[in-house]
């Protein structure tokens, strides 16, 4: 399992890194929210251990931004002892679990084991439609042998369409599943991103996969 620690208390972060590395986890450390976003979206972390009290962008904002950007790994939040509001806000902003400081290292290990069980349960294998394959855990999309590079938003859009393969999805249904609550524009943004996506997954000569259902919405399916 690959873990990103986001903690500005360097001594604590280093202690965690040492302990987790001994337990055979792959560990990176960042000390602020901006770096956390950059790292988390560049590498496939299974778990992010995220402190709430950070300089600049706080952990709650980082958590929300990560989910908005399509981060699908687990987020374990570190909160101050007894701060119920932080825990509630943490879970509301997309965290999977929390640990109150100070904590025993063996409790952290137990939480990570629990999360890794959930990771395995989620791994039902890559999504497939025809020769198009989306591997969520590796954050990778391929069509046949061709690797397709997608932006985080395009990735989430494709994942949504693939999870509902062979079903027609309305623009509003897509909008509510792919865009964040903060998004205030109209549903024509869906058409724009469908165009981007179609351009990437259907190169000239490849069978059509992304179909427009006139007056209704979109459908991802093999051509019959």
DSSP secondary-structure letter at 55?
A: S
Q: Which is nearer to Ca ion, 53 or 221 (CB)?
A: 53
Of 52, 25, 20, the closest CA to residue 36 belongs to: 52
Query: Given the complex with Ca ion, which of 50 and 141 has the nearer CB atom?
Result: 50
Least distance in angstroms from the C-beta of 12 to Ca ion: 8
Nearer to Ca ion, 102 or 204 (CB): 102
53: left (phi over 0), alpha (psi -120 to 50) or beta: beta
**φ, ψ dihedrals at 147, nearest 5°:** -80, 130
Q: Is the CB of 55 or the CB of 125 nearer to Ca ion? A: 55
Q: Which is nearer to Ca ion, 79 or 153 (CB)?
A: 79
Does position 135 interact with Ca ion (CB under 5 A)? The reply is: no
Are 83 and 58 a contacting pair, CB within 8 Å?
no
* Residue whose token pair is 């055979």: 24
- Indicate whether 8 belongs to the interface with Ca ion (CB under 5 A): yes
> Least distance (Å) from Ca ion to the CB of residue 79?
10
Residue 157 tokens read as 């859009």
83 backbone dihedrals φ, ψ, rounded to 5°? -85, 90
Q: Which of 29, 53, 91, 160 is the binder for Ca ion (CB under 5 A)?
A: 53
Backbone angles phi, psi at 96, to 5 degrees: -95, -30
Q: Which stretch binds Ca ion (CB under 5 A): 7-15, 117-125, 189-197, 216-224?
A: 7-15
From the list 1-9, 124-132, 177-185, 204-212, the region that binds Ca ion by CB under 5 A is: 1-9
Residue 35 is a binding residue for Ca ion (CB under 5 A): no
What is the CA 48 to chain-centroid distance, rounded?
Answer: 11
CA distance 150 to 90: 28
In the bound state with Ca ion, the residue whose beta carbon lies nearer, of 53 and 109, is 53
Q: Which residues of 160-193 are buried (b: 16+ CB within 10 A; e: fewer)?
A: bbbebbeeebebebbbeebbeeeeeeeeebbeeb
Q: Which of 46, 51, 86, 154 binds Ca ion (CB under 5 A)?
A: 51
Binding mask 178-207 for Ca ion (x = CB under 5 A): ------------------------------
Q: What is the number of the residue whose Cβ is closest to Ca ion?
A: 53
Binding-site ranges for Ca ion (CB under 5 A): 8, 51, 53
């Amino acid at each position: 399992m690959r873990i990103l620690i986001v903690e500005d208390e360097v001594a604590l972060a280093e202690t965690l890194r040492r302990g987790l590395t001994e337990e055979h986890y792959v560990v990176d450390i960042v000390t602020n929210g901006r770096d956390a976003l950059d790292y988390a979206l560049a590498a496939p972390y299974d778990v992010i251990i995220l402190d709430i009290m950070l300089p600049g962008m706080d952990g709650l904002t980082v958590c929300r931004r990560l989910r908005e950007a399509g981060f699908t790994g687990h987020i374990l939040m570190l909160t101050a002892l007894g701060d119920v509001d932080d825990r509630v806000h943490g879970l509301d902003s997309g965290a999977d679990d929390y640990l109150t400081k100070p904590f025993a290292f063996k409790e952290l290990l137990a939480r990570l084991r629990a999360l890794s069980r959930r990771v395995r349960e989620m791994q039902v294998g890559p999504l497939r439609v025809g020769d198009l394959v989306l591997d969520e855990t590796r954050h990778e999309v391929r069509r046949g042998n061709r690797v397709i590079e997608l932006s985080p938003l395009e990735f989430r859009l494709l994942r949504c369409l693939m999870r509902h393969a062979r079903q027609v999805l309305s623009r509003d249904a897509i909008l509510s599943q792919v865009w964040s609550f903060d998004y205030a524009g109209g549903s024509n943004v869906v058409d724009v991103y469908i165009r981007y996506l179609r351009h990437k997954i259907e190169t000239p000569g490849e069978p059509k996969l992304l179909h427009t259902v006139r007056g209704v919405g979109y459908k991802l399916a093999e051509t019959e």
